[in-house]
A and B are shown apart, each in its own frame.
Chain A
Amino acid sequence: MAGGGAALRAAVAAVVLAAWSAHGLYFHIGETEKRCFIEEIPDETMVIGNYRTQLWDKQSESFLPSTPGLGMHVEVKDPDGKVVLSRQYGSEGRFTFTSHTPGEHQICLHSNSTRMALFAGGKLRVHLDIQVGEHTNNYPEIAAKDKLTELQLRARQLLDQVEQIQKEQNYQRYREERFRMTSESTNQRVLWWSIAQTIILILTGIWQMRHLKSFFEAKKLV
Chain B
Amino acid sequence: MTSRSRADGIRTLPRRPDGSAPLPLPGVRPSAPRRSGPGGPGGGQGPCPGPPPAEAPPVPVPVPGGRHVRRGGAGRGGAERSAAGMRAGMRARMRARMRAGMRALALALALCALRAGGTELTFELPDSDKQCFHQELERGLKFTLDYQVITGGHYDVDCYVEDPNGRTIYKETKKQYDSFPHRTEVKGVYTFCFSNEFSTFSHKTVYFDFQVGDEPPILPDMSNRVTALTQMESACVTIHEALNTVIDSQTHYRLREAQDRSRAEDLNGRVSYWSVGETLILFVVSIGQVMLLKSFFTEKRPGSGGAGT
In the complex, whether B10 has a CB less than 8 A from a CB of chain A is: no
Question: A147 CB to closest chain B CB, in angstroms?
Answer: 13
Contact between chains at B38 and A215 (CB < 8 Å):
no
Given B100, B108, B233, which contacts A154 in the complex, CB threshold below 8 Å? B233
Stretch with Cβ within 8 A of B (4 or more), from A10-18, A78-86, A111-119: A10-18
Q: Are A25 and B42 in contact (CB under 8 A)?
A: yes
List the A side residues contacting B240 at CB < 8 Å: 154, 157-158, 161
A143–B219 CB distance below 8 A? yes
Interface check B117, CB cutoff 8 A: yes
Q: Which of B108, B119, B133, B253 contacts A11 (CB 8 A)?
A: B108
Q: Which of B36-58 contact A (CB under 8 A)?
A: 36, 38-50
Tell me how far the C-beta of B230 lies from the nearest C-beta in chain A, rounded to whole angstroms: 8
**Beta-carbon nearest neighbor of B244 in chain A:** A161
Say yes or no: is A131 at the interface (Cβ < 8 Å to chain B).
yes
B250 within 8 A of A: yes
Contact partners of B232 in chain A: CB under 8 A = 151
- Give the distance in Å from the alpha carbon of A152 to the alpha carbon of B258 in the complex: 37
Contact check: which of B43, B253, B264 meets A179 at CB < 8 Å?
A: B264
Cβ of A47 within 8 Å of any chain B Cβ, yes or no, is: no
Q: Is B74 an interface residue (CB 8 A)?
A: no
Secondary structure type dominating chain A contacts: helix
Q: Which of B13-21, B152-160, B168-176, B268-276 contacts A (4 or more CB under 8 A)?
A: B268-276
Chain A neighbourhood of B69, CB < 8 A: none
- The CA-CA distance from A169 to B132 in the complex, in Å, is 33
Among A153, A154, A155, A212, max chain B CB count under 10 A is at A154
Name the distance in Å between B236's Cβ and chain A's nearest Cβ.
4
Whether A182 contacts B253 by the Cβ 8 Å rule is no
> Are B31 and A161 in contact (CB-based, < 8 A)?
yes
| Contact in complex: A186, B44 (CB < 8 Å) | no
Report B196-222 residues with CB < 8 Å from chain A CB. 205, 210, 218-220, 222
Known: A24-B42, A25-B119, A204-B286. A15 touches B97 (CB 8 A): no
Do A169 and B250 touch (CB < 8 A)? yes
For residue A138, which residues in chain B have a CB less than 8 angstroms away from its CB? Answer: 38-39
**Is A120's CB within 8 Å of the partner chain B?**
no
Binary contact track A18-42/B, C-beta < 8 Å → 1, others 0? 1111111111100000011111100
Query: Could you tell me the distance between the alpha carbons of A44 and B217 in the complex, rounded to whole angstroms?
Result: 27
Q: Specify the chain B residue showing the minimal Cβ separation from A143.
A: B219
Determine whether the beta carbon of B219 is less than 8 Å from that of A153.
Answer: yes
Q: In the bound complex, do residue B104 and residue A15 qualify as a contact, i.e. CB atoms below 8 Å apart?
A: no
What is the bound-complex CA distance between A208 and B131, given in angstroms? 57
Specify which chain B residues have a CB less than 8 angstroms from the CB of A169 in the assembled complex: 250
List, in ascending order, chain B residues with CB within 8 A of A28's CB.
Answer: 132
Residues A5 and B222 in contact in the complex (CB < 8 Å), given A185-B268, A193-B275: no
Proximity string of chain B (270-309) to chain A, C-beta cutoff 8 Å, 1 when within and 0 when not: 0110010011001100100110011001000000000111
- Bitwise, A153-173 to B at CB < 8 A (1) or not (0) is 111011001101100110110
Query: B122 an interface residue at 8 Å Cβ cutoff?
Result: yes
Q: Find chain A residues with CB under 8 A from B309 CB.
A: 220
Asked if A212 meets B290 with Cβ closer than 8 Å, knowing A25-B134, A182-B264, the reply is: yes
Q: Is the CB of A26 within 8 A of B135?
A: yes
Residues of chain A contacted by B136 (CB below 8 angstroms): 22
Residue contact B267 to A197, C-beta cutoff 8 Å: no
Pick the residue among A24, A190, A219 that contacts B117 (CB under 8 A): A24
Complex contact A15–B46 (CB within 8 A): yes
Given contacts A20-B41, A25-B210, A130-B119, contact A162 B282 (CB under 8 A): no
Given contact pairs A151-B232, A172-B250, A162 touches B243 in the complex (Cβ within 8 A): yes
**Which residues from chain A contact B61 at a C-beta distance below 8 Å?**
none
Hey, which chain B residues are within 8 Å of A11, CB to CB? 49-50, 104, 108
Known contacts A28-B132, A168-B250: does B237 contact A154 (CB below 8 Å)? yes
| B121: interface (CB < 8 Å) | yes
For residue B112, CB closer than 8 A to chain A, the reply is yes
Q: 4 more A-B contacts (CB under 8 A) besides A189-B271, A204-B282?
A: A28-B132, A127-B44, A205-B286, A215-B297
A selection of 9 A-B contacts at a CB cut-off of 8 Å is A1-B101, A16-B111, A23-B42, A25-B135, A135-B38, A161-B240, A162-B243, A165-B243, A168-B254
Per CB-CB distance, the 10 closest pairs between chain A and chain B, nearest first, are A18-B46, A24-B42, A22-B44, A193-B275, A138-B38, A19-B41, A11-B49, A8-B104, A38-B122, A23-B42
